[in-house]
Structure 1
Amino acid sequence: MSPFPLPANEDARISALADFHLMDTPPEEEFDRLAELAARLFKVPTVLISLIGSDRQFFKARVGFDPCETSREISFCAHAIMQDDILLIPDALKDERFAKNPLVLGTPFIRFYAGKPLVTPTGEKIGTVCLIDSQPHQTFSAEDRKNLSDIAALVMDRMEMRRLEIARDVSQTRFENIASTSPDAIICYNDREEITFWNRAAEKLFGYSAQEAANRNVQIIVPVSLQPIYQSELQRLRNGEHLALEDGVIELSGLRKDGSEFPSELSLSTWREGNTNSVGIIVRDITERKHNEERLFRLACLDPLTDLPNRAAWRDRLRETLAAGTPASLLLLDLDRFKEVNDTLGHNAGDAVLREAGARLKAGCPDAIMVARLGGDEFVALLPGNHPQTARDTADRLIEAIGASYEFAGQRIEIGVSVGIALTPDHSQRDDELLGSADLALYKAKAAGRGRSEMFEPAFREVAIARRAFELELRQAFEHGEFELYYQPQLHTETGAISGAEALIRWNHPTRGLLSPVSFIDVLSQKPSAPEIGEWILRTACAQAAGWQRSIPNFRIGVNLFEAQFRTGQLTHVVEKALADTGLSAASLELEIVENILLRNDDSTLRLLQELRSLGVGLAFDDYGTGFASLSLLKRYPVTRLKIDRSFIRDVTTDPEDAAVVKAVIYLGRSFGMEVIAEGVETEEQLDFLKTEDCAEVQGYLFGKPMPAGEFEAHFLSEDKVKASSDT
């Protein structure tokens, strides 16, 4: 019994494979190029063009796999040739046929496999084009199937042309026997230019019957544009010389009977019979192949939205430029405020802006080596020359052009663009490092206010290294329990009785001591661990508040949320579970929301806040009055409390404008049925002002700085303090 599946026509299959003379041949560019195209198109690390012999598979082309052959016994492709369509294995570990295969358990650790059989014109399956990944793929769309089938057809086209080329070395009789059944047009003519053979495929391709073509001048199929080449080759033929076009397969146009031209691939062979020199031509119409190649190339190399080269094509060109030692300037561009376009006007508007931005970039860099879209709202331009001022001038022109207003469906859209610049060889001669340098410069440009450009400096990398080290410290801080919650009291303005506290994170750094959030919160909020740390803050604060409610039954705890928590889709569940596990009532929890979350103004955020409010928790709008939040947001979102920012309280008794803002916020709260609390109260004068304006609650250093739980408890929750507070 065979250790691998055998097709019913195995003998005929092996014989057909031998006719191609491809087993154990060296790599060839045309096959390698197709394998690389497939790897890029499907974004897989490994692609093989495999030929299945009697006991092994030979790889005519391979990407991402070193061996040139494997045993047929462990070959996935041996199974693929047993069926007509693609063999798809989403996860090899879950397929009993392959779960114990050494190629799954060892290098290349196959988890995903998709193989399309290579089928000869007579129906034998001689091999496959296969895609391999070490990660499972749960989806493989109808479009993916079509693309893989098209690549297999392109591979088979080239193999079939190779088989017909073998006819060069045989007699005309043998040539004509092969030609009679060939799906390709095969034509013979002599040095008198007379057509001597015209097969059925030639009739179909050129439109002349064999009778019409017999003894006609072969020029009837040669376009006018190719006459000089034809005449040169004819003279060589008459002189008995080797034809210039005889070696290999070439692409030239053919001329049909109706006068139309078509792209063709042809191969020539010559022989001498008696005193006559003859030529045999194999012609294949490659119109469809060209169309498929162009379509696949566009999918693999062009961004479908902007029609600019994509990241893969960009990296290839950058590597070529660096390898050639060409001085160049790399401009990395990122659109400013683009997310707001998607959030407020929808993705159709965002797509329109991206298309127009790409067009403006291309128009602004007419001499570029390449402009490309890397993904999202990030673009790149590679310019010849590395003069710093020239690169800055170009960046400034692009900032102006791309930053000009856009129109979509009658809406005026305002965005900007920031640019990071890196030069080669000055800043690097390695592709990843050069792009990284531009990215660091871009980060600096955005941090400096956006709508500007920055040239890379070595100091940027030093800062980035320090930032990465700091991020690692932050991750370890959570793992090692270095974070602690401090609590700042909140009081009723009139009575001075404690109403609750705001929970604030602190970092007990092992060498730098106690760090306030200003030292780390911006970095922490952008890390993947932010939702997990946010949940820890929530649960810790709820548990602490539940304990303190034994002393003050109506004690309320305020907890700040990270924006990342809104993106997880789990926030409502996390809050609900924290309340259930700690026993804290929903009314005793107030979640504090910063303005940039509300400014997203999208339906998903609204639904999430409504879900939270339906649990019974309070929603406080933090730092109200410092940003761009409109009154419509207060009407749209279920906010229950406004927090007046400390920046307005500081000079409220001396600055009429600050006083007006505070009064306005208090009035808005009252009008919308919301509570109001003022932060940053430090003096009795400020407190008196707030009492006069009927601000319900206050917090600030006048009453207590943020402090550890034990200190807060001793200071505010001792029996004497609680009794005094209740008496008041």
Structure 2
Amino acid sequence: MPSLDSVVQIAARIFGMPVAAVNLIGDDHVFFAASTGFEGQRVDMRRDVSFCAHAIARNEVMVVPDASRDARFYDNPLVTGFAGVRFYAGVPLYSPGGLALGALCVIDSVPDFDFSDDDRARLADLAQMACDRLELRRLEHSTERARRPFEDDARTSPTAVVWFDESLRVMAWNKAAASIFGHVPADGPGRLVVDFLAERHRAAVGGLIAQAAAAGTADGLVVPDGLAGVRKDGLEFPLGVALFCWRDKGKLTFHAHLQDLSSHPGQSAELRRLSTTDLLTGLANRASLYRRMEEALAGSAGACLLLVDIDGFKDVNDTLGHGVGDGVLREAAQRLVECVPSLATVARTGGDEFAVLIPGCTSHRESMAAARSIVDSLAEPISVNVHEIRITASCGLAAAPGDAQEALELFSNADLALFKAKSYGRGQVFAYAATLRMEATARRLYSIELHRAVSEGEFVLFYQPQIRLSDGSLRGAEALIRWQHPQRGLLSPAAFLPALENGPLASVVGFWVLDEACAQAAHWRRCGATDFRIGVNLFGAQFRVNDMAAEVAATLQRHGLPPHALELEVTENIVLDDDDLVLGVLEKIKGMGVGIAFDDFGTGYASLSLLKKYPVTRLKIDRSFVQSTPESERDTAVVRAILDMARSFDLETVAEGVETEMQRDYLKDCGCQEGQGYLFSRPVSSYEFSESFRLRTENRMGKLA
């Protein structure tokens, strides 16, 4: 069972033992559910030989300091033979119903007389984690079986199960579920599932189901304690509920395991433990974290919250597979636990996101030290199977009571700090400041106002010329969006683009820009600029709606613009977000004859590899390299390298941010074909561009002085 691998690995590491295992007990033999340290060894797995068969007979941790001196084991083949066992510590594993399943053990080939009470407690905690994983596997198996037609085997299952839909209508329940409430199976279908609860609990459970339906998952939801079911005769009884859901063919189906707790009160705690633990890493889940935050902030000592996000984790899953990705997450979780104080709560809050709550830590200075320790620890190589993987992590932090007074506010502020940290690149740490909340408020206001801007036509395009460096002639222009805000005046993209490109209007505005720019380019070409080319920036959202290639073809046809007169600009982020999707679309577009420019080239992480794969026709050298050319030897070397690569790949080049004649002359001498920047013109309105253009079109494409 892969989900138990992390348990045995943690056990071996914590106790410094060469061998750890989860053993399941059969009638005649013992079976490994997970193990580490037995690789390549022949192990006698007979039940009458196994130490674990003795461990499950005890309701406590069984420790054998030196098996060669123990009357029970001194002549055991595992002690006298190839395995050479001398030390053993094992703790039994039980199902929620009290059935002995097996044992978690750690083993060494040398005696150990120092296994303390604290060590016993830690091993018992790990055993409970293993029990949770085993129960989860049973529940998962039950859920998978439940996806088959209900009649297959659910009617005779001893587990009480009820299926219902988003409207709370019972679709089916088995005989065990019906009998809990004193009904027969035919009484259930069509009724509201909450009708079988005490009236005082119906609203809360209905709200919980609505919350799960809105999220599309029951993960992280905590079923309230103390639920009461109502039997057919009206009598109430304590009811345990474990809630699951899945989506099949677009329809959400809920699946609840029910237990009558009047005779098994301990099972409520077991269900609660399953609902508060992240099943992959064994850490606290988001719901448990919130409760710990509320507890910490209710006191006077305060706390700090660190949110940690693994940078580019999607690449690990995509290239090495989800199995390796899960291994990375488990190792990251263990390193987080080892990095922080023992009183801290470490939780997994999402796919590759973690949180650390440190009670009593209220200063940014102390929090930053903890955050940097975490980031440094995660930067160390991680070995999973045969792979050595290096990751980086970003961290945002906030402290209470200085940054927040309650749990949701603390989490939100730490999340804002994480967002800021990631904006600076990988492996960064940032602490919350009040200005981050103001920036977020501004983004939210802009998001609201963007809908009005689209409907009222407040967006306009400006155009910045692109000049042939060899003779100063106008080759084309880049279309740049501006917002003519009714109160704030003309806004540059920096003010609103983050809200726009991450919001629902990105594709709408993106296709408007494409249409408007092509219309303007067609007009200028009809005025005599027959070789004019227009550059248009794309949003990532445009690749995920409609048929991007068809939209481009229709726009060209609508305005009578030849394909070679259009150049679409993409950034590395767009390419990496939806690699296969974007590649296919760009290949279709290039096949039409439309140019593809790689914008901000040289500033990303994978630009070189992308050149080999993507149908690029032009590189745009980022202004950050151009501005210090030729004074900076390093920037000059980068520019020369980009130009050499472009020639090798038979690509054209445009240098952005050209501001001085010295820069222009150097770029021209190095073989850069075109330039764009304030030396030639700032971005200007279509009217201003037209005026300048008409003055310089006496010979079709005139020169700019």
CA distance in 1, matches of 2:636, 2:370: 47
Cα 1:511–1:387, aligned 2, differ >3 Å: closer, same or farther?
A: closer
Identify the residue that residue 492 of structure 2 maps to in structure 1: 516
- Corresponding residue number in structure 2 for 1:357: 332
TM-score, normalised by the number of residues in structure 1: 0.59
Post-superposition shift, 1:89?
4.9
After superposition, give the CA deviation of every residue in 1:94-152 in whole Å (9 maximum; x if it has no partner). xxxxxxxxxxxxxxxxx4534655523785367674475669969999x99xx9xx99x
**Which string of whole-angstrom CA distances, capped at 9 and with x for unpartnered residues, describes residues 263-286 of structure 1?**
x9998xxxxxxxxxxxxxxxx6x5
Note if contact 2:228-2:236 (Cα within 8 Å) is conserved in structure 1. no
CA change 1:419–1:85 in 2 (3 A) is: closer
Q: Distance in 1 between matches of 2:658 and 2:349?
A: 49
Aligned to 2:595: 618
Partner of 1:490: 466
Deviation at 1:542, TM superposition (A): 1.3
Indicate conservation of the 8 Å contact 1:552/1:722, yes or no.
Answer: no
Q: Give the direction of change, closer, same or farther, for the CA distance of 1:573–1:326 in structure 2 (3 Å limit).
A: farther
Counterpart Cα distance in 2 of 1:164 and 1:373: 37
Letter in 2 for 1:714: E
CA deviation after TM superposition for structure 1 residue 446, in Å: 3.9
Name the SS for the 2:503 alignment partner. Answer: coil
Q: State the AA in 2 paired with 1:679.
A: E
1:651 to 1:416, Cα distance in 2 relative to 1, 3 A: closer
- Match 1:543 to one of 519, 523, 527: 519
Matching residue's letter, 2:355: V
| Partner residue of 1:665 out of 622, 642, 660 | 642
Distance 1:517 1:374, change over 3 A: same
Q: CA deviation at 1:674?
A: 1.6
1:608 aligned to 2:664?
no
What is the match of residue 560 of structure 1? 537
The number of residues matched between the two structures is 502
Q: Please give the alpha-carbon distance, in whole angstroms, between the structure 2 residues aligned to 1:536 and 1:425.
A: 47
**Structure 2: distance between partners of 1:660 and 1:621:** 20
Distance 2:597 2:390 in 1: 30
2:306 to 331, 336, 349: 331
User: Superposed, which structure 2 residues align to 1:32-431 within 5 Å?
Assistant: 88-89=164-165, 111=167, 113-114=169-170, 118-120=177-179, 124=184, 129-130=193-194, 290=267, 294=270, 297=272, 300-323=275-298, 327-365=302-340, 367-368=342-343, 370-388=345-363, 391-431=367-407
Q: CA deviation at 1:640?
A: 0.6
State the distance in 1 between where 2:454 and 2:279 align.
Answer: 42
Give the deviation of 1:501 after TM superposition.
1.4
Kept in 2: contact 1:120–1:160 (CA 8 A): no
Show CA shifts across 1:354-407 (max 9, x none): 222122223334633632211122212233324436544433433333332222
> TM-score, normalising length from structure 2?
0.60
Q: Distance in 1 between matches of 2:348 and 2:330?
A: 10
**Structure 1 counterpart SS, 2:619:** strand
Q: Distance in 1 between matches of 2:216 and 2:171?
A: 12
Partner amino acid, structure 2, of 1:643? K
Q: 1:699 to 1:394 in 2, by over 3 A?
A: closer
In the TM superposition, residue 462 of structure 1 has moved relative to its aligned partner by 3.9
Matched residue SS, 1:584: coil
> Is the Cα contact below 8 Å between 2:535 and 2:568 reproduced in 1?
yes
1:519-562 deviations in Å (ceiling 9; x for gaps): 44344333332222222211111121122221233321111122
Distance 1:537 1:679 in 2: 21
- Quick check: 1:367–1:383 contact (8 Å CA) kept in 2? no
Aligned partners of 1:494 and 1:460: how far apart in 2? Answer: 46
> Aligned partners of 1:123 and 1:533: how far apart in 2?
58
Residue 535 of structure 1 aligns with an amino acid whose one-letter code is: F
SS at match of 2:461: strand
> In the alignment, which residue of structure 2 is the partner of 1:504?
480
2: distance between equivalents of 1:657 and 1:384? 47
* Amino acid aligned to 1:301: T
Q: Secondary structure at the match of 2:482?
A: strand
The 1:671/1:539 distance shift into structure 2, 3 A limit, reads: same
Partner Cα separation in structure 2 for residue 548 and residue 343 of structure 1 = 45
SS of match in other structure, 1:565? helix
Preserved contact between residue 682 and residue 702 of structure 1 (Cα < 8 Å): yes
C-alpha separation in 1, matches of 2:215 and 2:415: 33
Alignment of 1:699 with 2:676, yes or no, is yes
The answer for the alignment partner of 2:28 in structure 1 is: none
1:20-77, CA deviations, whole angstroms, 9 ceiling, x for partnerless residues?
A: xxxxxxxxxxxxxxxxxxxxx99xxxxxxxxxxxxxxxxxxxxxxxxxxxxxxxxxxx
AA partner of residue 405 (structure 1): P
User: Deviation string for 1:562-595 (max 9, x for gaps)?
Assistant: 2343455753343233334333232221111223
The CA distance in 2 between the partners of 1:467 and 1:675, in whole Å, is 37
> Contact 2:654/2:672 (CA < 8 Å) preserved in 1?
yes
Matched residue of 1:120: which SS? helix
Q: Contact 1:368/1:381 (CA < 8 Å) preserved in 2?
A: no
Q: Post-superposition shift, 1:322?
A: 4.3
Letter of the 1:412 partner, please give it: E
- Do the aligned partners of residues 512 and 603 (structure 1) sit closer, same or farther apart at CA in structure 2, a change above 3 Å counting? same
Q: Secondary structure at the match of 1:359?
A: helix
Alignment partner of 2:349: what SS?
Answer: strand
Q: Percent identity?
A: 43
Match of 1:711 in 2: 688
1:324 offset after TM fit, Å?
Answer: 6.2
Q: Distance in 1 between matches of 2:375 and 2:473?
A: 55
Indicate if the aligned counterparts of 1:328 and 1:385 stay in contact, CA closer than 8 A. Answer: yes
Structure showing greater radius of gyration is: 1
Partner residue of 2:655 out of 661, 678, 693: 678
Residue identity opposite 2:532 in structure 1: F
CA distance in 2, matches of 1:266, 1:407: 44
Decide whether aligned partners of structure 1 residues 88 and 140 sit closer, same or farther in structure 2, where only a CA change above 3 A counts. farther
Give the C-alpha shift of residue 410 in structure 1. Answer: 3.6
Query: Is the 8 Å Cα contact of residues 591 and 619 (structure 1) preserved in structure 2?
Result: yes
Q: Residue 567 of structure 2 aligns to a residue in which SS?
A: strand
Change (3 A) 1:155 1:451: same
For the 8 Å contact 1:343–1:601, the answer to whether it is kept is: no
- Is contact 2:164-2:193 (8 Å) kept? no
Deviations 1:133-189 (A, max 9, x none): 669969999x99xx9xx99xx988x96999799xxxxxxxxxxxxxxxxxxxxxxxx
Q: Distance in 1 between matches of 2:411 and 2:236?
A: 47
Please say if residues 116 and 129 of structure 1, whose CA atoms lie closer than 8 Å, have aligned partners that are also in contact: no
Q: In structure 1, how many angstroms separate the alpha carbons of the residues matched to 2:474 and 2:430?
A: 51
- CA distance in 2 between partners of 1:453 and 1:86 (Å): 47
Aligned AA (2:588): E
1:638 paired residue number: 615
**1:583 correspondence with 2:557:** no
Indicate how the Cα distance of structure 1 residues 682 and 418 shifts in structure 2: closer, same or farther if over 3 A, else same. closer
- Partner SS for 1:404: coil
